[in-house]
Structure 1
């Protein structure tokens, strides 16, 4: 479905993109320019460029596209109660739109590619709190990382889970295929990381504390299958740490991993005390077929 809206320009002259940005402040100028370039905006029925000068009385029609969800949220859910649900996120799915506009205006989540957030907002699970901050997210996974992910259904649970992550009470385990033969059976990487120069996140003394525990599950001639536990939860931590160690994750183009069908990183399990029952819970999903095939076919 799409939502069409028509605005009439009144004034001497203005660029098309500036006019829409001023009249639709909830959407970034970049997002509006993309809609114009995609042909989702017309002036008097004709497609125009972002810099097109508007004249008095011009009718500007915007087609706000909705994401056509190809994935059913219920097909991803592996556990659900009245306070939270746990999914097996597929590789290739963004957790949320790259532009932060959606946090203030949820409608923006339906512009662009399918994301986990758009799935949740389009068809929320039972007992999902309307208007909950960040659609209930308490953590995230990279687009190409697969596996266990937890989403809160209400603000009380969200606050409790965020605090749990902050206090390092969430034990997460990943599996990764890395380039090279890691010599030590196990070890700890305690190396600060951060985006210290405005570029990509990397290991740096000026970064924030980051600790990763690792162990080798299997080795081949050119790759190793790893078990990784992030003690801290920094963005891109496992990818940065394995690259720093000299064994980047297979398929990690950003940190110089060898080419692969996708980033070979999988969130295998999450273990914690339920915030309201205090009972220990653990959710586990095996790596998907593409991950297993990459390991099987590696030399």
Structure 2
């Protein structure tokens, strides 16, 4: 929820937190301070994270209000990285985290945590988000450490030369062990996409890699990069992902979609590869449905 108000003469000279409470009486001062601290406040179009900022008459204040349970501190240490070299680092994004800042938050996003890590190693480079995972998806995210590395991986992504492997749990039995979906995707709602014409070209290859008594583990290799592509293509096949309520999946603690691996060739010709382990919720979902996992998982 976005709240917008303009400071008047009554709020001029007040602290930002005091003025915000006056303008948004439905929020407590503690809640306002948390929103400011987490990067969910702008004043006159600029993000402000200092509650004592003095207001001026006419300042437009925008607060992004999210559910209290969404506030979650995250950070990365060198030992937690999936990959780090001179040009790239990779992290295992947890399900439930936003990849990048939103009108609701900066702090608590993967982008912010990576930016803090870069500063901790003496780098002044920003955390450049060059590919995204949905909030409910876990797995590999690769960040370039330089402007040149960002240009290189961005070009590889645009050319379809970054191999991405996802794992998904579905409840229904696929009709084939391997298949490919070539079906255009278009936006069909405020936060929904679907197979539709006209739409953007979208192709995904699927392979069943695990069978259980109550579900199936499917490997997905997207050959294009459309929003919600794997989710939409599986739902189009009558195989909505477990936990994906947007597209008809069975209820679960999280959406069971995981970016298992990403691989591409660096500018110097060497390989860049990262592989992310499964979290406890994904493993438990497989175990609960009798789906065996290979030892390397």
Q: TM-score, normalised by structure 2?
A: 0.74
Alignment of 1:117 with 2:111, yes or no, is yes
Q: Distance in 2 between matches of 1:255 and 1:146?
A: 18
1:65 alignment counterpart: 37
1:11 alignment counterpart: none
One of 118, 131, 139 as aligned partner of 1:147: 139
> What are the Cα deviations for residues 258-291 of structure 1, in whole angstroms up to 9, with x where unaligned?
001100011111111112x211232212322211
Asked if structure 2 preserves the Cα contact closer than 8 Å seen for 1:129 and 1:154, the reply is: no
Superposition deviation, residue 77 in structure 1: 1.1
Asked if structure 2 preserves the Cα contact closer than 8 Å seen for 1:17 and 1:51, the reply is: no
Equivalenced residues, count: 242
Asked if structure 1 preserves the Cα contact closer than 8 Å seen for 2:74 and 2:109, the reply is: no
Alignment of 1:94 with 2:98, yes or no, is yes
Q: RMSD of the alignment, in Å?
A: 2.7
One of 223, 240, 246 as aligned partner of 1:248: 240
Alignment of 1:18 with 2:2, yes or no, is no
SS in 1 for 2:7: helix
2:194 alignment counterpart: 202
1:1-299 correspondence to structure 2 within 5 Å: 17-19=5-7, 41-43=17-19, 47-50=21-24, 63=33, 64-66=36-38, 70-74=73-77, 76-99=80-103, 109-110=106-107, 114-124=108-118, 126=121, 128-130=123-125, 132=126, 135-196=127-188, 198=190, 200-275=192-267, 277-298=268-289
2:48 alignment counterpart: none
Q: Which runs of 4+ in 1 moved over 6 A?
A: none
Q: Distance in 1 between matches of 2:181 and 2:234?
A: 9
Classify 1:223/1:158 alpha carbon distance in 2 versus 1 (closer, same or farther; 3 Å). Answer: same
Superposition deviation, residue 71 in structure 1: 2.6
Superposition deviation, residue 196 in structure 1: 4.7
Superposition deviation, residue 72 in structure 1: 2.4
Q: Distance in 1 between matches of 2:227 and 2:276?
A: 22
Q: TM-score, normalised by structure 1?
A: 0.73
Extract unaligned runs of 5+ from structure 1: 1-15, 24-39, 53-61, 102-107
Classify 1:156/1:192 alpha carbon distance in 2 versus 1 (closer, same or farther; 3 Å). Answer: same
> What are the Cα deviations for residues 55-83 of structure 1, in whole angstroms up to 9, with x where unaligned?
xxxxxxx8531478633211541211121
SS in 2 for 1:17: strand
Superposition deviation, residue 197 in structure 1: 5.5
